[in-house]
Copies of this chain bind each other. A is one copy, B any other.
Amino acid sequence: MTPHSPKRDRILDAAERVFAQRGFFTAKVADIAKEAGVADGTIYLYFKSKDDLLISLFESRMERVNALLGAAVAAAKTPHEKLMAFVRAYIGMIADQPTAAEVLTIELRQSTKFMREYSAQRFGELLRLLAGVIAEGQASGEWSDAVPAPHAARMIWGMLDEMALAWLLGRDHGGRSSSGRGRKPPPSVDDGGRKFDIVRAADWVGALVTQGLERRSHV
């Protein structure tokens, strides 16, 4: 379905790095070309436009994520294990491939409303997977059904996403400082959320979520 070629992949990889570094709007096509080691025009042999490049990158990376999460969930038995597998797989991916994660978490979803609507579809896959796990747990009586599964899934996703965002922004990378010259951001004040160990976040999320979902033994 998606055309593949080594050069196309090199361009996608370069775009991932450049978008992560400079942001979609600020990134120049020429930057990506240079990073990929190709001529400017070559990019247009593989992608219709800068927008198309962004979308292609998004799809390429989301395929990976969805495959990874799907496999992790499939390998687990009980709803609780599946949920934890999902959470750990996602957090693990963040920790292992922070550049890819940054593009996915920050740049890709943010460029245009068009992009966001587009991305909604791909995240939908992920959300449905998660919602299925929750519905399963609710159906088995293990978890409360006070919150409809699709919304519970979305909230859990929000937790994961926010933790990912906090961690990614807390990392140091020689990023850009702005398009303009004006203000500088205020000095970094630690709000308890920066520079933590992202792997521990899996347990925190698990703890918050499962205790919330689990039916009380005695009430």
Which residues from chain A sit less than 8 Å from chain B, CB to CB?
23, 25-26, 48-52, 55, 106, 109-118, 120-121, 124, 127-128, 131, 134, 137, 141-144, 146-163, 165-166, 169, 175-183, 185-186, 188-189, 191-193, 196, 201, 204-205, 207-219
Contact = CB atoms under 8 A, between A and B. Distances in A.
A179 B214 contact: no
Nearest to A123: B191
A88 B147 CA distance: 16
Closest 8 CB pairs of A and B: A158-B162, A150-B192, A212-B212, A110-B110, A114-B178, A51-B180, A124-B191, A158-B158
A48 B179 CA distance: 13
Given A151-B193, A151-B201, A182 B48 contact: yes
A210 to B, nearest CB: 5
Contact of A158 (B128, B161, B169, B177): B161
Given A49-B180, A182-B51, A193 B127 contact: yes
